[in-house]
Structure 1
Amino acid sequence: MLIGEFVGLRAIDKSDLSTLLEWRNKPDFRLFFREYRELNYDNQLQWYEKYVLNDPNTRMFAITALDTGELIGACGLCYIDWINRNADFSIYIGKDGKYIDEIFAVDAAKVMEKYGYEELNLHKLWAEIYSIDDKKKAFFQNLNFKLEGTLKETHWTEGQWVDSLYFGKINTSVLQ
């Protein structure tokens, strides 16, 4: 388990899938996810078996509250490019419909950054979010990720085109 101040990051277990699926299918969360459609348990299980258990370019974690051990969200590094040493950073807090908050999400992000840079020796973490996702814009800016680019009108949602925003953060440690 990876330990932060408020959260622990542990391997996602098959018993977590129903809860993660429930959060993942929340319409107000789905607005901000690449997979826009509602998923069923078979979809969730296929994702778990293909990516979580068997994809060497994916590292997904369950976020748990340190004080209770309760599952509160998920995060991970996806599309890991081992040659160019970068990965897509993904995170959400499902518990109590938070999506992104200032305590658990921030703490989990700091743990993920340390893991990505120090354990996996990545050079850069990046994230694609949609321009309507104000919580994640503020979240990544707070973590000193920089807006590196905008792709116009890439995602259709709620009757409108929205832009994809790419945030990135380069590992500046001397271990590079």
Structure 2
Amino acid sequence: MNLLFEGQTCYLRSLTVDDAEEMMELLLRNRDYWSVYEPRHRDSYFSAAVQREKIRESIYQARENREYSVGIFEYDTKKLIGHISVYSVKRMPFLSALVGYSIDEAYIGKGIATEAVKLMTVFGFEELRLHRMEAYVSPENEGSIRVLEKTGFRREGLLKEFLYINGEWKDHYYYAMIEKEF
């Protein structure tokens, strides 16, 4: 399934194995920035070979209707500036999924993450026919909290010591949107 979603500030498209080098470069550029809110990866993760395998796996997951991962691209340059996924897709009786995203540090504060989340939310509710979309976010990640709230997600609670990041168990907020709020 090749996905393409066009917005005003960016476009989203399915990644192919040809994007592995550019994905590796994106990850390397943001290695320190993203490590504040995400678990650290081994050095081998930052290779084109590993990224090719991850892309192949995401293609398989999309075929199986479990996960949809796409790149976030800048319009003018067609440069890969982030990635976003609708993952952990559950069918009845849940009809739910999680959304997760990361934007290149050089592009934060420009509305790109907000637009990407809106585009994937439309996909989740209109194409996948989900009833509920959810997201986890660090209480320290004020930018990502703003993105979720601007796109209509509501905070439903706090998950204590939810994710192990850089040697510590970190709390995360739990956000969600249900289809009638969409």
TM-score, reference length from structure 2: 0.81
Counterpart for residue 27 of structure 2: 24
CA contact (8 A) 2:26 2:81 kept: no
1:71 maps onto 2:98 in alignment: no
Q: Distance in 1 between matches of 2:107 and 2:7?
A: 19
Counterpart for residue 107 of structure 1: 115
Counterpart for residue 92 of structure 1: 102
Q: Distance in 2 between matches of 1:21 and 1:146?
A: 33
Count of aligned residue pairs for this structure pair: 170
- Matched AA of 2:163: H
Cα–Cα, structure 1 residues 161 and 13, in superposed 2: closer, same or farther, change >3 Å?
A: same
Deviation at 1:75, TM superposition (A): 0.9
Counterpart for residue 41 of structure 2: 37
- Matched AA of 2:151: L
1:47 maps onto 2:50 in alignment: no
Is there any run of 5+ residues in structure 1 with no aligned partner, and where? none
1:142 maps onto 2:150 in alignment: yes
Q: Deviations over 1:93-134 (max 9, x none)?
A: 22xx24643421111111111111111111111111222222
Q: What do you get for the CA RMSD once the two structures are aligned?
A: 2.2
Q: What's the secondary structure of 2:180's corresponding residue? A: coil
- Matched AA of 2:84: C
Is there any run of 5+ residues in structure 2 with no aligned partner, and where? none
Deviation at 1:89, TM superposition (A): 0.4
Q: Distance in 2 between matches of 1:64 and 1:92?
A: 12
Deviation at 1:82, TM superposition (A): 2.2
Cα–Cα, structure 1 residues 133 and 99, in superposed 2: closer, same or farther, change >3 Å?
A: farther
Q: Distance in 2 between matches of 1:132 and 1:91?
A: 16
Identical columns (%): 22
Cα–Cα, structure 1 residues 40 and 159, in superposed 2: closer, same or farther, change >3 Å?
A: closer
